[in-house]
Structure formats: C-alpha cells, structure tokens
Structure 1
Amino acid sequence: MKTFLVVGLGNPEGKYFETWHNLGFKAAERFAGDLTFTKKGNQILATTHENGHKIMILKPLTYMNLSGQAVVAVCRKFKIPAEQVIVFVDDIYLDIGTVRLKKSGSAGGHNGLKSVSELLQSTSYVKIKIGAKPQTDIKGNTAAYVLSKIPDEVRPALNEAIDQAVAIAHDVIAGVK
C-alpha cells in the first residue's frame, strides 16, 4: 500500500477563495468530496483510501509562495516520496477549460510550484495544471490577475476543467496515467 499526497495550491484567506490562484484549492476540495478536513498547524488535511492506497488531501495554509513548507512537512512525517505527490495548480499559460498533466519538470514560473520543488528538493512530483489564461492583455501584472475574482461567464468551463483534473488525479493513483 502506497501513501499519496494530493495537494491543492491556493491562499487560505477568504478574500482569495474565488480567485484564479485558488483553482488548486477548489480541485483538492472537489477531490475530497464529503471528507472532513482537519486543521493541523500550517495545513488542512483530509484522509481516505482508494485502490488499496492511503490518500492524504492537503490544502496548505502558508499562502501560495510558501506552499512547499506544508507539503514537505507532510511528506516527511508520513514518509511520502516526491513521486507520490500530486499537485493541483492554476496555470496562466493554459487556456481556460484546459488541463495538463506533467509527471515531472520545472515550476514553469509558478511561485507555489517553485516553493514545493525547492523544499522537496525534487521536480519529480505530479503536477495537474488547470488553465487560467487571461482573456485580455494583463500588461505584465500577473499578480493582480491571479488574485482577481474569476468572472461568472468562465465558471462552467472551469468547473469542467476541475472535474477533469480530479479524474486525472484518480487515474494517476490507480496507475492508469
């Protein structure tokens, strides 16, 4: 039996809940379904079992740019190797409604992924990227965009993408992807 850590990157404060940068949190919550999350230090965790494996679902409370702190703490405590970590994350280079699976590789400029990679000392964890590409020119102001509220008109496409991302995570755990 393996233990997998499924992580949703985001910011814990209420004003960020409906922003692009919290797509990872939304995917982790969707993955968890009716499970109850418990706050432990700088993390919110839920646990379940699937396909004979233990699954821990994590929402770091460290804010996006320090997400690696919570991820590495759980990995160390439960002896979870990087290859059994699955991270849901927003990606401003992917079209809205698009999902991409990366089994290893760089952070692609995403500060939350940079933190995870640096503190895990590995890029060999699974990244499930959810498209959040701006529909207009943001004039280089990436931070303002990712922290802006998601418009209602794109929510249906995002909900479908989050469902896709969750299905991919289940497939990774099952060994299908």
Structure 2
Amino acid sequence: HRATFTFDLTGMASKTTNSRGMLPDMRSNLYAAVLAGLAYPGINGHPLTEAYGVRQRFIAIVTDLELPNDPLTVLSTCDECDRVCLRACPTRALAGEMKQLTIENTSIPFPLFDTFACDWAKRYSLNAQEGPQYWGVDESYPVPENRTAEEVVKAVTRTDWGVQKLHLNVAEECLRVCPARGTR
C-alpha cells in the first residue's frame, strides 16, 4: 500500500507566523478531520475533539489502503459556551455565522469567517494583540477596506519590527481564549 501526508488536503488553509517558520493554521484539514469522524468544527473554525478540545492540529494521510468508516463526531461544546472567541478576535474576522452542511444525514454547522481579516493578524502579524506585543512589537493596523496585497505590503513595511533575536510567534486570540480544552 502507498500513503503520503499533507498539512492542507483541500488547499483552503492559511498559515500562521511562528518561530519555526510559517506553519499551517489550526483550520488546516478541518474538513478532512470532520469527514474522518475525528473532530467537530468549532464556531471559531478550529477542529474540536472531546479529548483535546481545540488544542491539536491535524495532518491528513492519503492512502490506497481500505479503511473502515468511522461515525461522524457530534459535539455540542460551542452550544454551551458564551462565544468568548468571537469577542476576542482583534480583527473581527469571526461573526458567529454558520453554514449548515448535511453529511450522512447529519447536519454539521461550519463557521463562516473573514479570511483576509484573520490573515491580517495571524499570518502577517499586523495586530499586536495576536502575539507580536509579547515580543515588543506593539503596532497594530486596522484591516483596510481595500483588501489587496498592496495594502498588506504597505502595512508590513510601516511596522517597526525592531531587532529580532527570535522570530515572532502568533497566539491566535480565538484559540487562546477558547474554553474547549478537552479532557486530557
């Protein structure tokens, strides 16, 4: 049998600034994890599990080996929460809107979010609250109305990054404040 792995099976994920380089964001392989019965989508777009809550990442393994189907995971974690992740998002990328998808006669809510606004903070480090402030970079820029690569370049070049002995780490606020921490 043959197999390979991928950090982003659908090509829909983004990246997060990290001292080890750009890492696939926490939403990577969300759909694969849900379809495999491993996780459930949280209102913040991150996969949730009972054991680890929102504190894990998924790598997809594509193989020609026949595997038995697992049932879909259905959690109500976000139903019992006061939506602290929505309020914590410094760029207001999360609005709490959901799109219901029916899979195997099960309705699963997937969140809608503003990917540009999210990337503004976590990928380009243009909001200090997402982590740069912990490294002495205390500059934040509002998400521009004109959402272009040129606007990103202008904001990045305006930022006083200082002398960095270490690379920045982004602590996504929606993830950091999420009370779904799991049982382990």
TM-score normalised per structure 1: 0.30
More strand, by proportion: 1
TM-score normalised per structure 2: 0.29
More helix, by proportion: 1
